[in-house]
Structure 1
């Protein structure tokens, strides 16, 4: 996506009926511009990466038994609304974000409001995955205790608690305390533990009738070259050894279950994915 003027916001569609199949919608929640120094944090060179930018997707799973939002963007919708030319934010000295479309408007285009969503979860609570959490405070949050503790830890510069103030005292929380959590009870949408990047980092596996099994990676990897060139996890992970162990575990799982890995921040791969209102099923 470009950093130019924001596209016209689509009109709200009629309220979406319950899905008869499992569908996966991909939303454009912005991009991250990464400096050369930022790329090097991932034990890669600019030449190895080629494309330094990172995509920031959000996802909706529509299931016959309900809906699940997965990962919630980098800049809150309220700030995007206030910037007609698109919102920008600096995450740190090496990364800045650009967002030109609100998550709310993309949901509306397919007939959903945040209040309509049954469940939400994020792979982890870093700034570029949690910006719109307050929008879903009325939905049931699927959360791991380790990540909840991380979110409100003192002096944690990797998060922005203002993004999720509405969640702190939420009574609509399902605590995930095991490796795999079956969201709808039929094995087709499963949250899988993959700690290390943050204490409660996790990935999402969606089994689609036509597309097959896909895993949304969270930040298990940021660039695909980390995976293909077998680079060690970044030094600023919450637990580098745990991240390495999670990568090895997930790679074994992917091979065993014939699941495709979608690296969420892979800019080139994300550009090829069909975006909502189109969907995968």
Structure 2
């Protein structure tokens, strides 16, 4: 398997674990396709703060659907495309759902996809996002012939262009914290270039100014209490900034800030050095 093929494999795998349960799955499997499509559309409107155990379980069901039931998955995608939901919602089909379906089952579904696409401009539009995920050269070529990539890219550009671009480097720490909460709390369908720019800015902070990254963590913690967002903060920015150069300040912050000590409980640090693990263990165990 090549590097590209390996990357595609991981990108289209269903997310393991989580709140998925047999009873909940049975409910979804019994749903008529129009109801299933409506449920999928509603999930796309949820931001991180809106997520519940039930919504996570539903998301996991849909994550597995293209792998487990490809014909039903295609039926659902066609139903979503035929609905009157906004284009941003329909575009979420192209993020992972159809990519997984094409990568894993294009060979089985290609004849049906070609037949459906002949009279379905919206399906041709969606294929513009995913045709290259097909696992063979022949399947890629067949899908590329019917895909309307130009139409997809035009809508993608509209979606990704924000009304105002945010210059994160120019913001105060407090303003940056507010922007972090706003951007990371958005539904995935509403992410635009500002969301991607924030992700890039965070990486630059981690590489060049980990102290400012820690300032940002503390500032977010001062204004946000939502457990889903704080879990993201702990497992993302905070976890990534912890190292030999920052551990002393992490210890100082933890000694004065109970919320920060609690946040460290969401950090996975078992691959760190023995000394770093011991120092973090001391903080986390004291907070327990």
The answer to whether TM tops 0.5 is no
Instruction: Report TM bin, short chain.
Output: under 0.3
More strand as a share of residues: 1
Q: With a CA cutoff of 8 Å and minimum separation of 6, indicate the structure with the bigger relative contact order.
A: 1
More helix as a share of residues: 2
- In the superposition, the TM-score normalised over structure 1's length comes to 0.27
- In the superposition, the TM-score normalised over structure 2's length comes to 0.26
